[in-house]
Amino acid sequence: MINEIVRLIKESKKSTGGIKYLAQEMGVKYSTLYSLYSGKNSNPTIDTVGKICDYYNITFSDLSSDTHVQQCFDALTESLIELSKHKGIEVFIKNNDLIDSLPKSSQLIFEQFTPPLKNKNHYICITKSNEIVLRKVMKDENQFVFISTNRIIHENDRPIMQLKNVKI
């Protein structure tokens, strides 16, 4: 697990402004993240690992070295869907922009919402009238707004669950 965390940090530290910036974005102390990255700490707390997973939009099991190598694709194709059905391969979608093109049989996998909101991510929200709805978050200038599938902005919605991934 620690090797995967170090790999993720190495890959993203240059493009994001360094470890200090990553720590701020993750909600983790700089010293904690740096000690993981430098190898001084090989036993992060569950809370720290959870924040790292949230930042990278991955699950705890994605960090395990026991998991199989994941394949990444730019688009969801019919052949990929058929392959997953016939070979018993689980396909998970992490790109929220693909959700609208998924088969109706897909399973949306949510977990309890923990701030901050992430741009273009999907959330189960509770409305002012206590209805449960699915909304997409979009950044509009310096604030986040909830948008329904018909592109209407909903200002009073409150997120309760966040989309983690999708199984087809």
Question: Domain ranges in the chain?
Answer: 2-63, 96-167
Residue pair 136/121 in contact by the 8 Å Cβ criterion = yes
Q: Give this prediction's pTM.
A: 0.41
pLDDT of the residue at 28: 93
Residues whose CB falls within 8 Å of the CB of residue 53, separated by 6 or more in sequence, listed in order:
59, 60, 62, 63
40-62: per-residue pLDDT in tens? 888 888 888 888 888 888 877 77
Q: Is 117 helix (H, G, I), strand (E, B) or coil?
A: coil
CA gap 112, 108 in Å, rounded:
13
Residue pair 127/156 in contact by the 8 Å Cβ criterion = yes
pLDDT of the residue at 24: 92
Dihedral sign (CA 59, 1, 41, 5): negative
Tokens of 43: 């036993």
CA gap 90, 81 in Å, rounded:
10
pLDDT of the residue at 29: 94
pLDDT of the residue at 32: 92
CA gap 115, 112 in Å, rounded:
10
pLDDT of the residue at 33: 92
pLDDT of the residue at 99: 65
CA gap 148, 123 in Å, rounded:
10
Query: Cα-Cα-Cα-Cα dihedral of 100, 95, 151, 126, to 10°?
Result: 100
pLDDT of the residue at 94: 59
pLDDT of the residue at 137: 86
pLDDT of the residue at 76: 65
CATH superfamily of 2-63: lambda repressor-like DNA-binding domains (1.10.260.40)
List, run by run, the mean pLDDT of 10-residue segments along the chain (168 residues): 85 84 92 90 85 85 60 66 67 62 70 80 83 82 78 80 73
pLDDT of the residue at 60: 76
Count of alpha carbons within 13 angstroms of residue 161, beta-carbon side:
11
